[in-house]
Structure 1
Amino acid sequence: MAVVQTKPSSTKVTGEELKPVLKQAGLKLAESVVQDFSLLLTNFEAAVDSLPDDREVQPRPDLEKYPRTDIHIPEDNEFGAWASKVTAKCTAPKSNLLAGRTVALKDNVALAGVRCTNGTAMVEWVPEVDATIATRIMDAGAVITGKAACENACMEVISSTSVTGPVHNPYAKGYSAGGSSSGSGRLVATGSVDLAIGCDQGGSVRIPAAACGIVGLKPTLGLVPYTGILGMDATIDHAGPMTKTVRDCALLLEVIAGPDGWDDRQPPVELWDRQPDFVRNVDAVAELPRNSMLDGVRVGVLVEGFQIPGQDQNVAASVRAAAERLSELGATVSSISVPKHIEAAIAWGCSVPASGPRGALLADSIGRKELEFTDRCDLVGDKLTQAQFDALGPGASYMYLAYLWAQKRYGPKLHARCTNLFKAVGDDYDRAFKDCDVLITPTMPCPPGRLAVAGYTDEPLKFMAMTATLLANTSPFNSTGHPAISLPVGFSPASEDPNVKLPVGMQIIGRKYGDTDCLKVAAAWERAFDWKTS
């Protein structure tokens, strides 16, 4: 590869500057070629100097068309659920699909001019761009009323680590609202907003949806563009709707789905026939007679999904009963075994620390064609400072240390090994879908626990033990890309206090791009049964 010098460089690289770089890398160059390579690097610097400003090609919002006002940090943050408040809308919406509706964005979603904490004090950042889905929401007539609190660096599933404070369960103060989209879950459950966006790398939409008694969908990988959202790893990053009802979930999905030309996880625009019609399919189910809403639908109750260590039997019984009731709606319900389901969660737990912190914490997400936050790159180096590390919660601290350990001990091999295993796991799920149309598991194996005191920052082992089982049924489908929705189906006594009743979520998993199947089954159950009395 040759470097073409377009103009004289403002930086001249000398041999004396190159030698320490070589030494740090454990390399040597013959003295006879040091000068040649120094000149080549000088030319490289000239090429860098000649690059145009990338801000000119970033999707910066037209603030006259998409004005935002009243940006502030609220004194009353709804028991921890709000990170920031704003009023953002479109003056000339393209549709009225969400007219009059209010929406909260998880606080890792960029909205220009509004701080984006990502749940942590590690960096202070105010984005200059809007996420694609934020623009689409405003274009549909909705008003974005704020940013919902999320867990520290989006690496926790118990709602006690956000820089903005703990988020309390809407059904029991002092209990977890799930995570990492904790604020989104609570705000929808309490009616503080009509709709919310969550993001999900291992269960961060579905777990808070289950904990808060709402609907939460992790779409098929790539169905919804992740452009303009802080992620962890492009292979597991998903953004999805969190809503009170399945129809609202379908409606919000319809607004935000479809390629945007930035996110390479998505099919090219030319291959996208038309915008998916999720609402029409949900409405069609609701119009059918109760006992035939799911005629011909084969439901597989995933055996391994009920064999998670720490499985609460009240939760298991509630989900089994809810799944069996689908037969009253015309579905056939049977048991399905996918032994690799247990292996998938273990592989996720090895893969994410091996690579995730590189993008999530160090802003280094090379290898994908997607919008990069170059201004945020200036706030993070090639490693965390002590102050940045100290700003992390227990889960994020563990992730970073495991990343350093894995890089030292395994290099790229561990992540590569897990990636190969995920292909085999995904194939096993696909084989299961030859015998069923959807799979069923509990979303969370146990009810939400008590909020950790001060995040257990001085007791990371105790904190991590509380989270160990919560991702077991959700994380596999981030790695394989299958869609999965959490639907509230009942209540379970809290493990710590049988007098406290907390929501139970049933997870419905579909084939890739079978999001409609998940929505139809969820809509039928929701229409036929009252989850609060089931």
Structure 2
Amino acid sequence: MSVVQLGAPDKRVTEDDLRPILSNAGLELSEPLLENYSTLISALDAGIASLQDDRDILPRPDLTKYPRTDIHIPEDNEFGAWATKVTAKCTSPTSDLLKGRTIALKDNMAFAGVRCTNGTSMVDWTPEIDATVVTRVLDAGAIIVGKAACENSCLEGMSGTAVTGQVHNPYAKGYSAGGSSSGSGRLVATGSVDLAFGCDQGGSIRIPASSCGVVGLKPTWGLVPYTGILSLDATIDHAGPMTKNVRDCALFLEAIAGPDGWDDRQPPFGLEGDKLKFVAPLDALLAKDSSEMLKGLKIGVLSEGFEVPGQDPNVVSSVMSAIERFKSLGAEVGTISIPSHKEAPLLWTCALPLSGGRQSLLGDMDGRKQLYLTDRAELVGPKLTQSQFDALGPGASNMYMGYLWIQEKYGAKIQGKAMNLLKQVNDNYDKALKGFDVLVMPTLPYPPPRLPEPDSDEGPLNFLTRTIGLIANTCPFNNSGHPALSLPVGFVPAREDPSVKLPTAVQIVGRKYGDATCLKVAAAWEKAFDWKSL
């Protein structure tokens, strides 16, 4: 590390200041070296003290143009779905793409002046900025009506951990609405909002979409800016639409897609013009006769997506029936095997704790070119306090324990090894998608599980075993970055009570930046068939 200045700092870092830091690091230096580094670190410390306030350059919203009123915590939170209510509308929108549509924000998204819980009481944070996508939907004429509950630290697939309470499935009270975008899924399904944001690092858009019977799209990695949204791991962060139908999904995506100049998840060039148009191509497709809508399109049925341990045979049957129906729409349906698909969830699991622990729980986003949420980061130290750890849900506390273990036992090599192996999995998907336009499989291997009793303390092991294998078909595409859409295709019996019927869904995976193709395939099926009657 080069030195740019020495100077004469007002407050000198002494040798006594350095000794305990070195001791904690397992280092011992001679007195002459200590004196040298005392001078060097003093210069660094003086430089830190001279930095201007970064809040001066943050993209603070114009509250005259984007006013927000009636901010409150509702007494009736729609069976756990609402975290905070608010009303916000742009006074001079630039388009009418989402004119009059009501939208819920996921409660890990910055919206100035409105608390952001991230599903946990670990920190108390009210942002000063708006996420890029929030501004974009307001500019498109949407009305924000609140923030939807999300699971604790966005690290659960079952809707039983949000600090605001359990979120119940819209079709059966006492069953999971999916996670971590649990409130978003329920609010769209019940019609409480027209549209809702989800964020997805392992399936957190698609799990609640499947569980609640709505459409959920995890866009191509980098298509939608993640600026102003709490990260889990930048390599797998995705924000996207959750909607009642596919056309609304296309409208929503068109409103929020494209580079914003902050987020390094996004390519610096190439995303413009027709590449960001999703509605017109969809409307052109839907104008065709049903039997012609998917003519010439090749759909690959991913064999390994139907071989998840513990997979419910009713889900397999429902999804296979839905896939067969694609043939009547003109599509050519074939089978494809990608053996590494089965390896991807374990690689996802091993790659996550080190980076996720730093980025998600400690707010340490080093190495990224993006907007840093420094006001929230300063609320968390280099390690969690006991009270902060105790505020975590089972999934988040398990990740932090994994972070501590890997950091101490293995260091950076385990994450690096897993990421290197995931590149091969990604390449295998790309290869398969050269022969097929999309790949299809069940979104989830089984229907939503029953929620634990409220306020029960069954421990992280019992809680997390309720959803073993849940993300087997979803998390691989977070690491690979391919677009993946969950489309409801029918009801199946709950595992705990066959008299309870819950939604299930097919997942449609496309080539990178082939989000429009996923939308077309889903829209054609949706136009021809009523999933609720199947």
- The question of a shared fold, defined as TM-score above 0.5 by the shorter chain, is answered with yes
Q: CA deviation digits over 1:411-436, x for unaligned, max 9?
A: 11110011001100000011111221
SS at match of 1:454: coil
Quote the Cα distance in structure 2 between the aligned partners of 1:471 and 1:464: 12
SS at match of 2:434: coil
* Segment drifting more, 103-112 vs 348-357: 348-357
Shift of 1:467: 1.5
Shift of 1:243: 0.1
Q: CA deviation digits over 1:357-401, x for unaligned, max 9?
A: 111101111011011111111110111111111111111111111
Q: Which amino acid aligns with 2:297?
A: V
Matches within 5 A, 1:123-138: 123-138=123-138
* Segment drifting more, 77-86 vs 408-417: 408-417
Quote the Cα distance in structure 1 between the aligned partners of 2:462 and 2:454: 12
Which residue is equivalent to 1:268? 268
Q: CA deviation digits over 1:332-380, x for unaligned, max 9?
A: 0111100000100111111112321111101111011011111111110
Q: CA deviation digits over 1:272-299, x for unaligned, max 9?
A: 4556110111111111111010001000
Q: Which amino acid aligns with 1:393?
A: G
Shift of 1:40: 1.1
Q: Which amino acid aligns with 1:144?
A: I
Give the direction of change, closer, same or farther, for the CA distance of 1:353–1:2 in structure 2 (3 Å limit): closer
Which residue is equivalent to 1:160? 160
Q: CA deviation digits over 1:15-61, x for unaligned, max 9?
A: 11112211111112221232221111111111111111101111111
SS at match of 1:434: helix
Quote the Cα distance in structure 1 between the aligned partners of 2:62 and 2:413: 45
Which residue is equivalent to 2:477? 477
Q: Which amino acid aligns with 1:390?
A: D
Q: Which amino acid aligns with 1:277?
A: K
The answer as to 2:343 corresponding to 1:376 is: no
Quote the Cα distance in structure 2 between the aligned partners of 1:496 and 1:271: 46
SS at match of 2:86: strand
Matches within 5 A, 1:75-94: 75-94=75-94
Shift of 1:461: 1.4
Which residue is equivalent to 1:35? 35
Quote the Cα distance in structure 2 between the aligned partners of 1:413 and 1:3: 30
The answer as to 2:415 corresponding to 1:422 is: no
Q: CA deviation digits over 1:176-231, x for unaligned, max 9?
A: 00000000000000000000000000000000000000000000000000000001
Which residue is equivalent to 2:462? 462
Matches within 5 A, 1:294-373: 294-373=294-373
Q: Is the 8 A contact 1:394 1:455 kept in 2?
A: no
Quote the Cα distance in structure 2 between the aligned partners of 1:275 and 1:258: 9
Which residue is equivalent to 1:199? 199
Quote the Cα distance in structure 2 between the aligned partners of 1:468 and 1:269: 40
Matches within 5 A, 1:398-409: 398-409=398-409
Q: CA deviation digits over 1:128-185, x for unaligned, max 9?
A: 0100000000000111110000000000010010000000000001100000000000
SS at match of 2:454: helix
Q: Which amino acid aligns with 1:529?
A: F
Give the direction of change, closer, same or farther, for the CA distance of 1:323–1:329 in structure 2 (3 Å limit): same
Which residue is equivalent to 2:24? 24
Which residue is equivalent to 1:225? 225
Which residue is equivalent to 2:386? 386
Give the direction of change, closer, same or farther, for the CA distance of 1:192–1:334 in structure 2 (3 Å limit): same
Quote the Cα distance in structure 2 between the aligned partners of 1:6 and 1:260: 37
SS at match of 1:532: helix
Q: Is the 8 A contact 1:233 1:356 kept in 2?
A: yes
Q: Is the 8 A contact 2:6 2:40 kept in 1?
A: no
Quote the Cα distance in structure 2 between the aligned partners of 1:24 and 1:92: 56
Shift of 1:65: 0.8
Quote the Cα distance in structure 2 between the aligned partners of 1:272 and 1:434: 24
Q: Is the 8 A contact 1:205 1:216 kept in 2?
A: yes
Quote the Cα distance in structure 2 between the aligned partners of 1:203 and 1:468: 13
Matches within 5 A, 1:118-267: 118-267=118-267
Structure 1 length as normaliser, TM-score?
A: 0.98
Quote the Cα distance in structure 2 between the aligned partners of 1:51 and 1:461: 45
Give the direction of change, closer, same or farther, for the CA distance of 1:289–1:229 in structure 2 (3 Å limit): same
Q: Which amino acid aligns with 2:116?
A: C
Q: Which amino acid aligns with 1:329?
A: L
Quote the Cα distance in structure 2 between the aligned partners of 1:333 and 1:172: 34
Matches within 5 A, 1:491-502: 491-502=491-502
Matches within 5 A, 1:484-523: 484-523=484-523
Quote the Cα distance in structure 1 between the aligned partners of 2:52 and 2:6: 12
Find runs of 4+ consecutive structure 1 residues off by over 6 angstroms.
none
| Aligned residue pair count | 534
The percent of aligned pairs where both chains have the same amino acid is: 64
Quote the Cα distance in structure 2 between the aligned partners of 1:325 and 1:456: 43
Unaligned runs of 5+ in 2: none
Q: Is the 8 A contact 1:211 1:448 kept in 2?
A: yes
Q: Which amino acid aligns with 2:453?
A: V
SS at match of 2:17: helix
Q: Which amino acid aligns with 1:188?
A: V
Which residue is equivalent to 1:411? 411
Structure 2 length as normaliser, TM-score?
A: 0.98
Q: Is the 8 A contact 1:260 1:269 kept in 2?
A: no
SS at match of 1:433: helix
Shift of 1:318: 0.4
